[in-house]
Structure 1
């Protein structure tokens, strides 16, 4: 027992000695646990998409199991040790957790940062402001290291802003705000709707745009508007939106099978593929018809290869008329989870 304590102390102290240098290079570093401990089990591929708010612990245990109960690395651009402490102290079952808090773009090329990421058994992207993740990480050696982590068959997860960048297409929030559904539908061509491509490259999410805090913040209209813009700009009709409720996660295994874990009866909302807009023009409200929206619940299975849902929680069609979202009668979508 004493040896284990000394190992934790020595490893933590060794990295603590690097903290001052790290701060000069644009990041802060924290760690907890035994960094010298071997990973207890093999890693397996997986992606955990968390909608924000409280963490649904069964989903996090799913990710930890796929990380071989080894070392979790948390990446963020604000805050400090909150996520690593929750992983290590509250959920448990890992050898160690490390946190890298990015303060600018320089750190995404730092050799020590890249080494920490390469040694991670699982990577978790914390919440915050996704525009910082785009500015600090996109097109950097860190970006390539994250893609390499996924290709190596190791799990990755993200919540809120961290979820927002997991799809092949992302709402970047580059204007410093958080776009409402009303504003997005009133002008989907406007400068406040900032979309990002060619960032992270996860299997089964190649034609997906993700969004978080979904039901509670009424983001269905926003997601429909973003998909309409992507379809117009890229000439595509196969794009799909995935919105995740708070306290809810979609966990996707290496075979592309997604399961939902929720602490409040929340859902994952599958939007589209949607038809071409009937009105899409600069400065004009969006109009389109018959947008399919389906729900994935705790009893459902989502097949990401073709977006087929076994036992869907709900299904409905939505129209947008002059920027106004209208639900047709169907198997109605639920109200926001509490």
Structure 2
């Protein structure tokens, strides 16, 4: 009898614990994200129309947040008018740190404003300074304001949240706060509360997001952040381009350029100057798809029949770049390497003699592996490159760089490097 009572009590306790745990889990999300890498052009109809369609189509209500802008009223007005040109019934939400004549803390708790956001079909976050967004929408103790809760309710209920530049940075739980240059970030690392801060986390806690990625060589600064915060997956999106994330966590690239998938699941790093091995990079071009949950990548329709044959390479010379952090350089090297008779490509990043730690640089080695796959579009001649290995190691730069004259009396550039430990 006593044993039966104990069993019943234990069963009830397990049921209560399981129910409480289930209640604590976040509600399933039915909405979508449109994560834009910045500099979204007014004529990029593919992205603007997708935002409006995901918000409900013609006359969809879209709340415009210019909270990140230094001139929120002006920026908000431009974005409202632009969304209206693409068929939305957009409206401005006047919650911004830099907006004169208003109290952003009071407005972020206003039940009327919160209801307007909650009942909208979507929200659009402008670019600027992402910490202005989190300051405006979070309370001083870090908890959600009433309007931020309304944004989450709208998103979980099936709405779309779009953001460009700073509006993209807030999509992950960790975002850049006051970052250094890309090269200085590699040299000096990152610190919570300074270079990195807490984002709003709409994409989930397991994915790190960065923007302006290829134009500014920012793929490299993702690596120290991901290692420091324990991320194994990062998504970086370039300018005038969007990653559309649906409720099933499938990502579609839409726009001018593309996105990088940064996979650290097999990577290893060592102490001392930044040094990481076996990072996996994939470049997704317009129309390509990536499943966050499964890791599966699908090329766009115009590339599906354009899988590259390693036995028929186009490029047949060593591949090297003296500025791997240059505009789209990493993708150019990846595209050439996947269609090359070479096994690896080397890129360097060196700083000015006046920069921090001027004698420290980095070597980036891209390697084709048996898992590396490339596709080429028969229409645009653009590439998609999946599963390429990246190793980054420190190098010592011996100065001065100009240190000899050839037989004809011409000064030649000489960079002497030595592998770091």
TM-score by length of 1: 0.72
- Counterpart in 1 of 2:365? 327
In the TM superposition, 1:1-338 aligns within 5 A as 45-55=31-41, 56-69=44-57, 70-77=60-67, 78=69, 79-80=72-73, 81-89=77-85, 92-103=86-97, 104-138=104-138, 139=143, 140-171=145-176, 173=177, 175=178, 178-190=179-191, 192-196=194-198, 199-202=200-203, 205-231=204-230, 239-263=232-256, 266-275=257-266, 277-280=268-271, 284-311=272-299, 324-330=362-368
Q: Which moved more, 1:182-191 or 1:115-124?
A: 182-191
The question of whether the paired residues in 2 share the 8 Å contact of 1:241 and 1:270 is answered with: yes
Q: Distance in 1 between matches of 2:186 and 2:252?
A: 30
CA–CA separation in structure 2 for the residues paired with 1:274 and 1:249: 24
> Per-residue displacement from partner, 1:271-308 (whole Å, max 9, x unpaired)?
1124455334xxx5311111111111124111122232
Give the stretch that moved more between structures: 65-74 or 97-106: 97-106
Q: 1:226 to 1:71 in 2, by over 3 A?
A: same
Distance 1:190 1:102, change over 3 A: closer
Q: Give me the whole-angstrom Cα distance separating, in 1, the residues matched to 2:202 and 2:288.
A: 25
Equivalent pairs, count: 272
More relative contact order, 1 or 2 (CA 8 Å, 6+ apart): 1
Per-residue deviation, 1:222: 0.6
Q: Deviations over 1:103-158 (max 9, x none)?
A: 24332212232122112111111111001112221322222222111111111111
The answer for unaligned runs of 5 or more in structure 1 is: 1-43, 232-237
Q: Cα RMSD between the aligned structures? A: 3.0
Q: Secondary structure at the match of 1:271?
A: strand
Q: Is the contact made by 2:251 and 2:289 (CA closer than 8 Å) also made in structure 1?
A: yes
Does the aligned pair in 2 maintain the 1:300–1:310 contact within 8 Å?
A: yes
| SS of alignment partner, residue 367 of structure 2 | coil
If you compute each CA radius of gyration, which structure gives the higher value, 1 or 2? Answer: 2
TM-score (norm 2): 0.58
Hey, what's the Cα distance between the residues in 1 that align with 2:262 and 2:48? 25
Query: Contact between 1:185 and 1:323, CA under 8 Å: does it hold in 2?
Result: no
Q: 2: distance between equivalents of 1:95 and 1:161?
A: 23
